[in-house]
Structure 1
């Protein structure tokens, strides 16, 4: 199955969905450039999703993707969250952040029936998932819209699981990728591989199309991934400096500094391993602190702290999500970045 069959796009290129740094505008611009734009919906309720999809559908008549999480929400842990607040209190004092402003409850919700109902009205070309797939009843609702279904795999076992449970294509998420790791069968980070080793193994192991993700931010990287058998590529970090992205000023500044050369996996900002530019909070608390509550509860206490620090122009307490290719980011419109990446095909 080629990208034209799977996505109905001109280019074998999917924009990685990036919650927190984009909305419908970036997705529309990339779809209009001939690739597959993606809207991250893991932090949207059904009403917000409908608003975003209405705007996206009105901005392009080309195919697009909507991405959701499939994690199991954690049990409430007020004591664990309070311990986390106490761990962060010195930073609250430093940046004069308000502890009373900390939200309660999970900030990210898994795909559910309400979102499935919204999708049925918009009938996207592609629906993608992170952390596996939804249960069969929900997945059947997605497929009933005519959408192709993709999901992230970080190991051969995950790719085989996705193939057996109804995916139409598999995103090979290498260790270089920015943002949250998509692993769902095991939390053992030693199982995680780089894109150029993971990709050919998945191509050999499954009969589905495999999309390469992680470290793909230049035409040369696109060419390398396609040479290793990818049916398409999924860049994300390459678009962080686009004017159509909602990347905050502090984040943009770090991406254009020498600090962008050093990224690491951390659970500090959400409770689940995710790759971002190394900053003060990561260095001083440790990249994988035991005190961090389960995903996504750790993010509640980070919110007011991040806002207070950013108000002072500091990225010390922000999740500066980016892949290991962050230092190659270019500040240019999404259409230009897409054409540049496509020159490697």
Structure 2
């Protein structure tokens, strides 16, 4: 049925469709729905405590027996810079005044922790079938512990040399993340945004450069995109934006409306929301302060000063300061149940692949 089964043979799902881990807008419910449709559900775990990760995995395991992917960040943490953060808060001062938020009130620091020994112990305990990483790989001793559990290790590459590095350093699957993709860029060997490669150019070059299965990510939201990825040599796809409007996602009503109104020109890459480059639907602060601002503190600290503004605006039903992470194929998504969407994507792709085969 599928022309390249290398990815399927590793992860043992029905379809080679990976739900992109989208922190903040999804939980176990969307993972379960995609798994029930035959795809690989991914639980974003970079913002979860160990206890919350256990709770979410237990919910998933009670409902489905399908393979599960836990996703983590591997960024090198940067200490908060008080002067930089004060300057950033000053840059946002007019918004604090407009929304009646006290800039002197204590703020909860943004929490996006890199994979560490504590979370590695959680992986050893929960034994997910797949573990995926963004921004590289964890240090070798932690990666060795993950691999010792029997987990398949996936990691994102945005340029060919990142893919080669991942293969050389222990990944089992490469996620080739094109510039079209929503959310944070998985860049770790480069910081040059202008040189980021589109999915159609990246996938075949990564396929040629490594001996591992390649999962295409970015700009894929329907059967045509999946078939195209396979034609380029991928053996799987990772899809996120197409699932954002599914009823199982945790996207708020105002954010859902903004996503539904988006077109092909609505998304931009910004550093304003978190301090790290990410693609999303442009909101007010991205338009007025960015989308790229030299004032934004390093990841994840830019998000700290935005927190109170986000809460205040959302109370008024506005998304002026809300992360609307999404890729360029967002308008191709549909507000249908995720199980149905997964099955439809697979059916459409298989029909198109059969037609292409002749």
TM-score, length of structure 2 as denominator length:
0.94
Query: Hey, what does 2:322 align to over in structure 1?
Result: 318
- CA 1:307–1:104: 2 relative to 1, 3 Å: closer
Partner of 2:189, secondary structure, is coil
CA drift at 1:3: 2.3
Query: Hey, what does 1:333 align to over in structure 2?
Result: 337
CA contact (8 A) 2:40 2:67 kept: yes
Q: Residues of 2 paired with 1:4 and 1:218: CA distance?
A: 19
CA drift at 1:133: 0.2
1:118 aligns with 2:118: no
Query: Hey, what does 1:44 align to over in structure 2?
Result: 48
CA contact (8 A) 2:262 2:281 kept: no
Q: Residues of 1 paired with 2:13 and 2:27: CA distance?
A: 20
Q: Residues of 1 paired with 2:134 and 2:236: CA distance?
A: 18
- CA 1:304–1:218: 2 relative to 1, 3 Å: same
Query: Hey, what does 1:249 align to over in structure 2?
Result: 253
CA contact (8 A) 2:176 2:215 kept: yes
What does the per-residue CA deviation read over 1:35-91, in whole Å, with 9 as the maximum and x for residues that have no partner?
100000011121221121121221211101000000011023111111111111111
CA contact (8 A) 1:261 1:327 kept: no
1:174 aligns with 2:174: no
Residues 162-311 of structure 1 aligned to structure 2 (within 5 Å): 162-258=166-262, 261-311=265-315
Q: Residues of 2 paired with 1:258 and 1:147: CA distance?
A: 37
Pick one of 135, 141, 152 that aligns with 1:137.
141
CA drift at 1:101: 5.1
Pick one of 61, 64, 70 that aligns with 1:66.
70
CA drift at 1:4: 2.5
In the alignment, structure 2 segments of 5+ residues that lack a partner are: 351-358
What does the per-residue CA deviation read over 1:214-273, in whole Å, with 9 as the maximum and x for residues that have no partner?
010011111111111101000000000111111111110001114674100001110001
CA drift at 1:310: 1.1
CA drift at 1:102: 5.2
CA drift at 1:96: 2.2
What does the per-residue CA deviation read over 1:183-240, in whole Å, with 9 as the maximum and x for residues that have no partner?
0001111221110000000000000000000010011111111111101000000000
Partner of 1:337, secondary structure, is helix
Query: Hey, what does 2:355 align to over in structure 1?
Result: none
CA drift at 1:104: 4.7
Q: Residues of 2 paired with 1:288 and 1:125: CA distance?
A: 37
Q: Residues of 2 paired with 1:312 and 1:238: CA distance?
A: 27
CA drift at 1:317: 1.6
Partner of 1:26, secondary structure, is helix
1:30 aligns with 2:34: yes
Q: Residues of 2 paired with 1:102 and 1:85: CA distance?
A: 12
Q: How many residues align?
A: 345
CA drift at 1:106: 4.4
Q: Residues of 1 paired with 2:229 and 2:106: CA distance?
A: 42
CA contact (8 A) 2:313 2:319 kept: yes
Partner of 2:125, secondary structure, is helix
1:56 aligns with 2:66: no
Q: Residues of 2 paired with 1:336 and 1:99: CA distance?
A: 46
In the alignment, structure 1 segments of 5+ residues that lack a partner are: none
CA RMSD across the alignment:
1.3
Pick one of 5, 9, 17 that aligns with 2:9.
5
Which has the higher mean CA deviation after the structures are superposed, 299-308 or 256-265?
A: 256-265
Q: Residues of 1 paired with 2:314 and 2:56: CA distance?
A: 26
Q: Residues of 2 paired with 1:106 and 1:246: CA distance?
A: 19
Which has the higher mean CA deviation after the structures are superposed, 18-27 or 312-321?
A: 312-321
